[in-house]
Structure 1
Amino acid sequence: MLNEKRIARIDNLLSKKQPDLQVMLDNVHSSQNVSAIIRSADAVGVLDIYYSTKENESLRIHKTITQGAHRWTHRYRMHDDHKVAFLKQKKEQGFQVVVTHLEECAVSFREVDYTKPTLLVMGNEKDGVSAEIVELADEVIIIPMQGMVQSLNVSVATGLILYEAQRQLEDAGRYNEPLLSNEKTEEIKAAWIYRDTIARKSKGEIPLEFKEEIIAF
């Protein structure tokens, strides 16, 4: 059983989670980038991270990069063919879909209101976000750049955008009171305590059921 100090840390962590700020990765290939994004997402209170792959296979998580952040987020994997249906579902749930893409109508990432329920979609390292996702976007954003190179590493770009979102949410007082329902908080807390207890008994290995879920349509 975990000690009271550890449980108190979990309680505090859950009280800061932002269920209305979520991240989706559109075929990001590099497991190192995915791991770095998870770390940044956890740092600003993101709970849910989604990613699509054409191979429908899990991406490796590098614990030396996440520094354990992967244990405090929920990861969901979907096949590439399901991502459009997934995004339409999110829009029906009231989320604005914010997509990074270089085009004339794109606005600075700082001009978006992240206090609205937001799904931030980041594209892969070579081609960026796919065209069908751009068509579904409520906001298309760019990170203004003054150098010769007009793009950033996807994990760096995600971190910059998430911290702008964090700034806005903090100004709005969203970290002052828990946003998860009591029922949801207790459900996640119980699962995390169980996972941590099992992981400690198995020398750090996390059970498969706590690594990620698969989304199917």
Structure 2
Amino acid sequence: MTPERLARIKGTLDRRQPDLRVLTDQIHKPRNVSAIIRSCDAFGVANMHAVWPREGYRAFRKTTGGSHYWVTTHTHPDMMSAIGDLRQSGHAIYAAQFSDRAVDYRDVDFTRPCVLVLGNEVGGVSQSAADAADEHVVVPMMGMVESLNVSAACAIILAEAQRQRSEAGMFEVSRMPPEEYNRLLFRWCQPQITRYCDDRRLPYPPFDPDTGDLVDGVNWMAGVREIRKNRQRKSAADFPDPGLVTGE
């Protein structure tokens, strides 16, 4: 970890906005979701929430430009549970939806804790989610087309959220909760160790936030080997060889 790389990682974390979020409502084109993730990273959004279509989703790495790694994605079973969870945590719900009560996206307050809800390419935001939203926002259209691509609309609206928050000084101090900040700092500084631990359900090793390096990688790895040996012993005890049990 070079000092320059560590400084860039910390600078990005310092500008992340934990209370500005995006929620996608069953967007079915992977390239659109990937582009939305990329916009989230670009405009300082730390968390994206999603209700996936039935066929599932896998981000296109070329479209995300690696940004899927820098934005935490939370999956919800349906829109009402997602909105309920986010509203309970104090977020206003802004749905990008053309309706009789829709207002210009620049006329809502993005400095408050809020969630931008984006609908799918065919039907837009689902009716139940639209009814539950605090505000409907639209990007004024001056041409012949009636709507923008959902990922383009996301980028335009998040740019306004960034402008409002920048004017309010919300990017000048770190706003991430310390526990979340330190967790992401480790994951971003040590991606290979993170994958190793996550795949094997291991706790992260001691970490020096001033250097981005492990405190004592050798002893930690020795401890990991011992943990894995104990797990193997327990597995062997819980599921003995059938031949040994029956005497065959």
Do these two structures clear the TM 0.5 threshold for a shared fold by scoring above it?
yes
SS in 1 for 2:118: strand
Given that 1:39 and 1:70 are in contact with CA atoms closer than 8 Å, whether structure 2 keeps it comes out as yes
2:66 pairs, out of 58, 65, 68, with 68
Q: Distance in 2 between the 1:196 and 1:113 partners? A: 39
Unaligned ranges ≥5, structure 1: 210-217
State how 1:75-86 maps to structure 2 within 5 Å. 75-79=73-77, 82-86=78-82
Q: Please tell me the residue identity of whatever aligns with 2:58.
A: R
State how 1:37-56 maps to structure 2 within 5 Å. 37-55=36-54
Question: Structure 1 residue 175 and structure 2 residue 171: aligned?
Answer: yes
Q: Please tell me the residue identity of whatever aligns with 2:11.
A: N
* Alpha-carbon offset, residue 56 of structure 1: 6.6
Q: Please tell me the residue identity of whatever aligns with 2:35.
A: A
* Alpha-carbon offset, residue 208 of structure 1: 6.5
State how 1:106-185 maps to structure 2 within 5 Å. 106-185=102-181
Given that 1:56 and 1:78 are in contact with CA atoms closer than 8 Å, whether structure 2 keeps it comes out as no
Of stretches 178-187 and 162-171 in structure 1, the one that deviates more from structure 2 is: 178-187
* Alpha-carbon offset, residue 150 of structure 1: 1.2
Aligned to 2:9: 10
Alignment TM-score, normalising by the size of structure 2: 0.75
SS in 2 for 1:115: coil
* Alpha-carbon offset, residue 52 of structure 1: 0.7
Higher relative contact order (CA closer than 8 Å, sequence separation 6+): 1
Q: Specify whether residues 54 and 61 from structure 1 end up closer, same or farther in structure 2 by C-alpha distance, changes over 3 A only.
A: closer
SS in 2 for 1:149: coil
Given that 2:91 and 2:113 are in contact with CA atoms closer than 8 Å, whether structure 1 keeps it comes out as yes
Q: Distance in 2 between the 1:84 and 1:7 partners? A: 39
- What are the Cα deviations for residues 38-89 of structure 1, in whole angstroms up to 9, with x where unaligned? 11110010010111124273x221221111111111012223xx32022112
Runs of 4+ aligned structure 1 residues displaced above 3 Å come to: 196-199
SS in 2 for 1:19: strand
Unaligned ranges ≥5, structure 2: 201-248
Q: Specify whether residues 198 and 133 from structure 1 end up closer, same or farther in structure 2 by C-alpha distance, changes over 3 A only.
A: closer
Q: Please tell me the residue identity of whatever aligns with 2:82.
A: F
Of stretches 86-95 and 34-43 in structure 1, the one that deviates more from structure 2 is: 86-95
Of stretches 62-71 and 21-30 in structure 1, the one that deviates more from structure 2 is: 62-71
SS in 1 for 2:190: helix
Given that 1:26 and 1:129 are in contact with CA atoms closer than 8 Å, whether structure 2 keeps it comes out as yes
Q: Distance in 1 between the 2:53 and 2:58 partners? A: 15
Higher Cα Rg, which structure = 2
Q: Please tell me the residue identity of whatever aligns with 1:89.
A: D
Q: Please tell me the residue identity of whatever aligns with 1:33.
A: N
RMSD, aligned α-carbons: 1.9
Q: Please tell me the residue identity of whatever aligns with 2:97.
A: H
Q: Specify whether residues 72 and 196 from structure 1 end up closer, same or farther in structure 2 by C-alpha distance, changes over 3 A only.
A: farther
SS in 2 for 1:84: helix
Aligned to 2:226: none
SS in 1 for 2:188: helix
Aligned to 2:31: 32
Q: Please tell me the residue identity of whatever aligns with 1:153.
A: N
Aligned to 1:92: 88
Q: Distance in 1 between the 2:157 and 2:14 partners? A: 22
Q: Distance in 2 between the 1:129 and 1:93 partners? A: 21
Q: Distance in 1 between the 2:53 and 2:11 partners? A: 37
Of stretches 83-92 and 17-26 in structure 1, the one that deviates more from structure 2 is: 83-92
SS in 2 for 1:20: strand
Q: Distance in 1 between the 2:199 and 2:163 partners? A: 34
Q: Please tell me the residue identity of whatever aligns with 1:76.
A: H
